[in-house]
Amino acid sequence: AQSVTQPDARVTVSEGASLQLRCKYSSSVTPYLFWYVQYPRQGLQLLLKYYSGDPVVQGVNGFEAEFSKSNSSFHLRKASVHWSDSAVYFCAVTDNYAQGLTFGLGTRVSVFP
């Protein structure tokens, strides 16, 4: 069975500051890893995904994530946040993407001017 832990339920940052969201996963094999973003009253949108190769993956809107097999982690980063980055961010994992994803509980990010 797979699981995902996002230890921070809420994060507050100032506009222009850097952001890191943590994600730890548990899987018996190297899984597919994802970060999704959910804006208010909308569905989820994919930010980036990882399966193999360079452990640092680039996503949309300046986001990137770094995979660490030794730490079972897939942390999300952004160098300089904008107020429009305020949203809920979900980390997800699967070892068979045809069979659906297992999501973390999400981290709510609030960006203040």
Partner 1 sequence: EAAVTQSPRNKVAVTGGKVTLSCNQTNNHNNMYWYRQDTGHGLRLIHYSYGAGSTEKGDIPDGYKASRPSQENFSLILELATPSQTSVYFCASGANAEQFFGPGTRLTVL
Are 98 and 111 a contacting pair, CB within 8 Å? no
Cβ 23 to partner 1 shortest distance, Å: 12
Judged by CB under 8 A, the chain residues 53 through 112 that form the site for partner 1 are 90, 97-106
Cα torsion 38, 86, 6, 49 to 10°: value is 60
Please say which residue, 15 or 94, places its beta carbon nearer to partner 1.
94
Handedness of CA 92, 88, 54, 24 (dihedral sign): negative
Please say which residue, 100 or 113, places its beta carbon nearer to partner 1.
100
- Cα of first residue to Cα of last residue in the chain, in angstroms, is 41
Judged by CB under 8 A, the chain residues 43 through 62 that form the site for partner 1 are 43-46, 49, 51
Binding interface with partner 1 (CB under 8 A): 32, 36, 41-46, 49, 51, 90, 97-106
